[in-house]
Amino acid sequence: MEDGMDALFSSFMSEVSNIKTAKMKKIEGNQGTPDEIIERVLARPYDPKQGQGSAYQILQVAPDATESEITKQYRRLSVLVHPDKCKLEKAAEAFQVIVKAYNDTKDPNYQDKYADVIIEAKKRVRKEREKQNESREKRGEDPLPTDGGEFDRAVWEECERMTSAATESAELANSVAEANKKRYEEQARERRERKKAEQKELREWERNKDKRAAGWQVFMQNVQSKKFKAGHTIGKVGAADQHHKREERKETDGKAELDMEDKKVIRSDMQAAFIDMSYRKEWR
């Protein structure tokens, strides 16, 4: 009896395992094997704050997917790489990235980041693919899909390019604004310093005004004094008399007499008459 019950229980567990295995295979068929999921999730760094990676790309859903669609996809992926069920080396690391991506999709700020570009991204991808499909049709090749998972992946990539470009533009604008701000602040500082220096110079000028006035008065007094000393004797006959005593004849000295026999007088008299006396030098 017991052997029959054990056999029945084993059969039941086998059926349950087969059901689970079939279900997992179906999930894997849509999402990829755990190895493939781990490799894809960890292929690139995921850090939205640094502009690295996309939560929607990690979860393999479109940026405009509903909350219900995102939750279902998260559950499918988490079942395949959950560390309690998946014993692959990096399963735990991949699972943490998937959890973070799922939480990021709930963040309104993160949603707004894609809400601003998703419509335009879809238009660009669809337009580009329609153009490529015309050429592919001429070559007899299969057209590129304009919807579905592969199309969504192209949209994610376009969203990333657009948001990255927007981020770079914003960073550039911020950089320029910051540079302008610093330049304006530097100019304002220089103006304040110039004004401060001018005010200091004005205060010094006012403080020394009395000294300058007094110095000017002393200077003018010195100039006037020098003019008086130098100017009152200029052009006057006998200006030097105040320094030298002039010899004058007295009334009692009588009339001056001239000795005509005096050699000096004779020589002076002849010279006055232009008489050449140089021949006397030849006499011996």
Query: pLDDT tens, position by position, for the chain (284 residues)?
Result: 445 545 544 554 455 444 445 544 544 445 789 999 999 999 988 888 877 888 888 998 888 889 999 999 999 999 999 999 898 989 999 999 999 999 999 998 888 877 778 888 889 989 999 999 999 999 999 999 888 878 887 887 888 788 776 555 444 445 555 666 677 677 778 888 888 888 888 888 888 777 777 777 777 777 777 655 555 555 555 555 555 555 566 666 555 555 556 555 555 545 545 555 565 656 55
> Cα Rg for the chain, rounded, in angstroms?
59
Which residue, chain included where needed, has tokens 């052009």? Answer: 235
Instruction: Give the span between the Cα atoms of 102 and 284, in whole angstroms.
Output: 148
Q: What is the dihedral of CA 265, 267, 270, 274, to 10 degrees?
A: -130
Q: What is the pTM of this model?
A: 0.45
Phi, psi at 47, each rounded to 5°: -155, 90
**CA distances (Å), 91 to each of 42, 56, 78, 83, 104, in order?**
10, 19, 10, 6, 20
| Tokens (6 digits) for 248 | 């004058």
Instruction: Give the span between the Cα atoms of 74 and 71, in whole angstroms.
Output: 5
Distance of CA 45 to the CA centre of its chain: 30
Q: Fill in the DSSP letter of residue 47.
A: B
Which residues are CB-neighbours of 51 under 8 A, at least 6 positions away?
163, 164, 167
- Of 240, 73, 57, 72, the C-alpha closest to 150 is 57
Q: Work out the burial of residue 46: count CB atoms within 10 Å of its CB; fewer than 13 is exposed, 13-18 middle, 19 or more buried.
A: buried
SS3 label, residue 52: strand
Instruction: Give the span between the Cα atoms of 3 and 10, in whole angstroms.
Output: 11
Instruction: Give the span between the Cα atoms of 282 and 271, in whole angstroms.
Output: 18
